[in-house]
Structure 1
Amino acid sequence: MKKLIHAAIIAAVSATPTLAANVNLVDGDTIKIGRKTIRIVEIDTPETYKPRCEAELVKGLAAKQRLRQLLDAGNVTYEPTGTDRYRRTLAHVFADGVNVGSVLIAEGYALPYRPGADAKLERLRAWCGPDAQL
């Protein structure tokens, strides 16, 4: 019963539209709404905090800028799917009903997230070139 109440509260809060002006960007795949940090699930964008090459930084900043544009299109909502090891909420994020993660992938700003070192290296090489190493 306690889990059902908790799930209902989370669903109600996340379904409440947030104005884009109240959403802060951490990077191209992570946002903050109030004190809650939300990692957009199923995508990965290039790093801006500790990029491994200049091209990754440039691409990461472009992804962050595009995410801002998408979020500015309308009310922001999210559907939580869990939490990660950093205690961030994993969620599908929507702006005016549009899944921003799907748009970022379709437009080439993000890659689909797959776990594991091989997948991580593949993403890094997409951003930094074929000779990039972890």
Structure 2
Amino acid sequence: MDIEAWVWWLIGAAALGIPLVLTAMPEFGMMAVGAVAAAIGAGFGLGPVAQVLVFVVVSVALVSVVRPIAARHRAQRPQLATGTEALKGRQAVVLERVDAEGGRIKLAGEVWSARALDTERVYEPGHQVDVVEIDGATAIVM
């Protein structure tokens, strides 16, 4: 029983899909696409050397183009801040005197415990303060 070259390339593509699923390494997926391209080339009658060249060129091209794009996307911060990250940089109103020991502010419609970033500063009720950071359930303000 003689199996044609394009079938072997498709078997190779499926075999490359297994480590892609097991390891979540996208490089295996790009090589699987290269194997599919080689199978298409074999189906059009390309010789063995040309098939291997198609596989290598497509695989290398995908890895060299897709990996930098994926790395750039992975390094980007999310555009929509949620949770305590969304509160950083917002303004709040002092409800009870805020100093290095603590106090209370109204932040995003809720009452929060707060602490002054600068240990020498004191903020009296009615003052507008900026939230610099959230430490647990305490807003650090300045």
Higher relative contact order (CA 8 A, sep 6+): 1
The TM-score, its normalising length taken from structure 2, stands at: 0.29
Considering fraction of residues, name the structure with more strand: 1
The structure with the larger Rg is 2
